[in-house]
């Protein structure tokens, strides 16, 4: 999957069921790996009120020495 594929993927998420209240039209958060760590993608997600949870380039994970 390329970086360009993220936007159509997020737009194609169906409404999310909830036990009470109306269906949500968008996810609250989006978890992604370092390949999606781009400023324009994080800004695009924030404009859609989605919190980006993307691993950052150049920062090691908790299990990396």
pLDDT for position 47: 92
CA distances from 15 to 25, 26, 39, 41, 48 (A): 5, 7, 26, 21, 14
Cβ count within 10 A of residue 64: 6
pTM equals 0.68
Helix (H, G, I), strand (E, B) or coil at 43: helix
Per-residue pLDDT of the chain (65 residues; tens, 9 = 90+): 456 788 888 888 887 777 777 777 778 898 888 888 889 999 999 998 999 998 877 776 666 55
């Amino acid at each position: 999957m390329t970086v360009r594929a993220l936007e159509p993927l997020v737009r194609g998420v169906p409404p999310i069921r909830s036990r009470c209240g109306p269906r949500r039209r968008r996810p609250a958060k989006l978890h992604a790996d370092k390949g999606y760590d781009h400023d324009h993608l994080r800004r695009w997600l924030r404009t859609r009120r989605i919190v980006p949870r993307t691993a950052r380039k150049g920062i090691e994970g908790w299990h990396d020495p």
